[in-house]
Structure 1
């Protein structure tokens, strides 16, 4: 007798944006790149840190928003999609709980040009998956992340 559960799970997982993210000391945000258009075929990542460059900002705080640093994504050329895979609360020694917020991606190297946002937090539709290229066809080149 064959078991239909693994096939059923595989089909369901194909429709859920995949969030492959692991916390490390001081990590605040992780952005993942994928080689498919559904954020499921992981191809690489970049991160922002509470205790090292690049720093995230805090939504609603002028000082925090000003502190958010622009950083280079260096996406693989075959990337087809991108998302904010995870956000974590402040901690440099023990893994904190997940946070909510977003990262904004730009097609210019200095957080300029066309942009798109990818949200992470609670809710069935989060994290949000975005195409890897801007409306002008350029790969996203830089990002900033803001947390609640």
Structure 2
């Protein structure tokens, strides 16, 4: 396993690579030394995150793999379908997954997503528009959503 700590506008992001896949991108609350990535894949991940934060990248082209149950994989795949600058509610997500009674389980699976930004769990919000359920801090979720809205030139969040 290889890892790099990357300085972003939302703090230090730890990016890990294993077996030629990006396996996690996670925000850290404590300070870490920022080092240059050593592998071609980590360099590619850092470059694409730079482009995202600059507002020039809306989709990622990285080989991704994270461990999880079939249910979790399905939830994460659905997250990847949410368009840049758009949001959906947990209720909408449960309907897209044909599991309208599974909101809590789906929200729990969202919370186990370890590929911040690239698998955009930050784009799922409460039915009332509230920013809830983000393990890396609500302030980061708010920043990411506002960043995408600025890039899109939209004053308010739009639903999927």
* TM-score, scaled relative to structure 1: 0.28
Q: Relative to total residues, which structure has the larger helix share, 1 or 2? A: 2
Q: Relative to total residues, which structure has the larger strand share, 1 or 2? A: 1
